[in-house]
Amino acid sequence: MAKGRSAAPRAPLFIDPRAMRGTNPKRRCSTSSSSSTTRRFSPRAKRRVGRCLTYVQEEFESHLKCGRLELGFLRVRCEGCHAEKLVAFSCKRRGFCPSCGARRKAETAALLADEVLPRRPLRQWVLSLPFALRFLLAAHPRALAEVLGIVYRAISGYVLRKARLTHANGQTGAVTLIQRFGSALNLNIHFHMLFLDGAYLTNTRPPVFRRIGAPSAGELQDLLERIAERIGRALERKGLLARDCENSYLTLDPASGGAMDDLIAHSITYRVAMGLRSGQKVFALQSVPAGPLEEQRRGVAQAAGFSLDAGIVIEAEQRGAHSRPSAGSQRGKSATGRSRSDPGARSAGTFTD
């Protein structure tokens, strides 16, 4: 360029160009782990299940392509400062991708907090199920819907009785989010239910909200035993469960599900399903509890493999806190921000429950 000649105007610089060209180390760890898992899983699944699980492979492959600029992007520009940024296309999958899962979590939580949940106190009820029922509900969606209806009717009936109302003159409500995985990525179907901590009187204009107190330990235990008994009777009528004087067991045909049932059973019981360590327990790192065990179990009832937790309540004035249980109840399976690699070329990650 000749001296004295002004430089030609250039387009605004991109924001964080290095970050756009490179890859976050945590995401690189997650992507590398997913890629190696996909390569190992497909041939083993063909040998074990008899066919490659197409939808599983599609989930992993879409996750590996998510957020990569070379596969497509949008170029966005600020009208005020004229700064520009490249935004890569996302896979928009619902299974494993932590980025798309986090975005969907935030959007759903905002929708519930701003447009669905009323400005009234809320209580979170979390119901965990025995291993046998986790297996049954994972394979039978209709049974899952029926069990959810039983749980909702039992808790809503308890809320109305405690508010000294009936179904004729009172009404409560809840939003239920079904979680299918635990913190070790094990198959663990359980319910997160955001219930109104009270009920409305429906024969007044406008309806009057009547607040109830927290359930006592005895009330929680009685409610859980009632739920377990109702679920058992309903499944027995459907022919899915058989009970005698001592035990209850599933009546499923072992040959009906094939090898897929074997994979489900391994996942539920925290065991490795394929490879050299098949049948062995999954090695998991756990932290020491923050407080005494008695304090952690406060507000929790347990019976016959069922567990009911009602210890989290959000007051009406805590409007910003409404999104926290909403988001926590429908988290994705994996979290990229908690993935790391160790020197032995293994990967470690924390999954959400």
Distances (CA, A) of 226 to 27, 52, 110, 194, 259: 45, 42, 34, 20, 35
pTM passes above 0.85: no
Please count the other Cβ atoms lying within 10 Å of the Cβ belonging to residue 123. 23
Q: Which two tokens stand for residue 186?
A: 């094990």
Kindly indicate the confidence band of residue 348, based on its pLDDT and cuts at 50, 70 and 90: very low
Q: What is the predicted pLDDT for the residue at 11?
A: 41
Kindly indicate the confidence band of residue 70, based on its pLDDT and cuts at 50, 70 and 90: confident
Residues β-bridged to residue 125: 193
| Cα angle: 173, vertex 311, 315; to 5 degrees | 60
Q: How far apart are CA 52 and CA 260, in angstroms?
A: 11
Q: How far apart are CA 41 and CA 292, in angstroms?
A: 41
Give which of 55, 91, 58, 59 is closest to 72, Cα–Cα. Answer: 91
Q: What is the predicted pLDDT for the residue at 341?
A: 41
Q: How far apart are CA 123 and CA 310, in angstroms?
A: 7
Q: What is the predicted pLDDT for the residue at 143?
A: 92
pLDDT at 140 exceeding the cut of 70: yes
Q: How far apart are CA 109 and CA 105, in angstroms?
A: 6
Give which of 275, 281, 285, 283 is closest to 37, Cα–Cα. Answer: 275
Q: What does the radius of gyration of the chain's CA atoms come to, in whole angstroms?
A: 25
Which pLDDT tens digit goes with each residue over 21-67?
Answer: 444 444 555 555 555 555 555 565 555 555 546 777 788 788 888 88
Q: What percent of the chain has pLDDT over 90?
A: 28
Q: Collapse the DSSP code of 308 into the 3-class scheme (helix H, G, I; strand E, B; otherwise coil) and give the result.
A: strand
First to last CA, the chain: 61
Question: Is 209:200 a contact under the CB 8 Å cutoff?
Answer: yes
pLDDT at 304 exceeding the cut of 70: yes
